[in-house]
Each structure stands twice: as structure tokens, then as C-alpha cells.
Amino acid sequence: MSQKNKLQYIILGLLARQDLTGYDIKKLFEGEVGDFWRSNHSQVYPELRKMAGKGLITAYTATVGTKMEKTYYKIAPPGKDLLTAWMHEPLGDLVPSRDDFTMKLYLIDDPRDPLIAQLFAEEIARHTVKLAYLEQRWQELFASSEKQQQHYGHALILTLARNREHDYLTWLKAHQPKEK
């Protein structure tokens, strides 16, 4: 076994809510799911066929306009079982992030290196953007409280991500070297 196929689990999770086409899933990965998971259609379409081949999901087609066919996928009982099993499986090990900022900083030995200030500035900039984005997403999705109850987990992870960004930025700003 090499890496484990997590893509199939998230696809199963999405299909557990409603039937979707490959294109729908691609759009989700570009949109709301994309905040914490990304995948390209070149991976999604083959994966869906593979899963259908295993009997985890079933396919059916709908015609749009005069000749365009789109393929919907529906979760099947074995798929539901697999999803449930995965959801209850213990969380895997935490893996190192391979983050640019961390890697570069690690390689700087001299506290007076001007690169440190530059790296902090860049890191603060990109996380500030991320924080603003997350807050805007929250507004868009959960401004009304019904929605917050309908997709509880989604609301929770957005809050979580927002909070992490906020705390991290606070730390970064507190430890940012002064420009001279």
C-alpha cells in the first residue's frame, strides 16, 4: 500500500447528501469544499468510474438540451458502509506540513538576517488574505442561523479555520522583527 485514497471518501461523503455529476464535484472542489480540499476534474472523473466499478456508487444519465448527456452518481449501500467505517476510523498521524515559510526560516541561522523580516511580512500578508477570505465565507454561508444548523460541521470548521488564522497572525505580529 502506498498513500491511501482519501479522495474516494470525500466523494462518498458528498454523494451521501445528494446525487452529483463529476462536474458538480469539480465545482465543489473549486468552491466551498475547496477551502480545505482540492482536486482536479482529471482525477475526479476516473475516480468516479473506478468507484462505480467497485459498486460503491451507481451511475445514471440525464439529457440536457438535445444531445448532451450528463452522468449522475448515487451512493450505493457498500459505499455507505465504507463511508461510515472511514468516519469512525481513528484519525491518522499528523504529518509535517512542508510549508515554505517554515522551511526557509529553519535554514536561517543568523538572527540579524534581513530575510527574516521579509519572510514575516510575506507570511503575514498571505494569512491576512486568508483570514479575510474565511470571514467573508462565513458571512456568505452562515449569516442566517438556519444554515448554521443545517451544515453544522461546515460552520464549525470555518470557525475553527478563522480562529487559527487569527491566533497565528497575532503571534506573527508579536514576533515580527522590526524593520530598521
Binding site for DNA (CB under 7 A): 1-7, 21-24, 26-27, 38-43, 45-46, 48-49, 64-71, 95, 98
The residue among 33 and 59 lying less far from a copy of itself, judged by its C-beta, is 33
Burial 116-150 (b: 16+ CB within 10 A, else e): beebbeebeeebeebbeebeebbeeebeeeeebee
Contact residue for a copy of itself among 1, 68, 94, 143 (CB under 8 A): 94
Nearer to a copy of itself, 60 or 106 (CB): 106
User: CB-wise, 28 or 76, nearer to DNA?
Assistant: 28
Residue 46's Cβ-count burial label (10 Å; 0-12, 13-18, 19+) is: exposed
Distance CA 87, CA 81 (A): 10
Q: How would you list the strands of the sheet with 20-21, edge to edge?
A: 20-21, 68-75, 57-64
What SS3 state is found at 109? coil
Contacts of 76 (CB under 8 A, 6+ apart): 55, 56, 57, 58
Q: How far is the CB of 113 from DNA (least distance, A)?
A: 25
Please report whether residue 123 would count as binding a copy of itself according to CB under 8 A.
yes
The binder of 9, among a copy of itself, DNA, none, by C-beta within 5 to 8 A per type, is a copy of itself
Establish if 146 lies at the interface with a copy of itself (CB under 8 A): no
Residues that bind a copy of itself (CB under 8 A): 6, 9-10, 13-14, 16-17, 33-38, 87-88, 90-111, 113, 115-116, 118-119, 122-123, 126-127, 130, 149-154, 156-157, 159-161, 163-164, 167-168, 171, 175
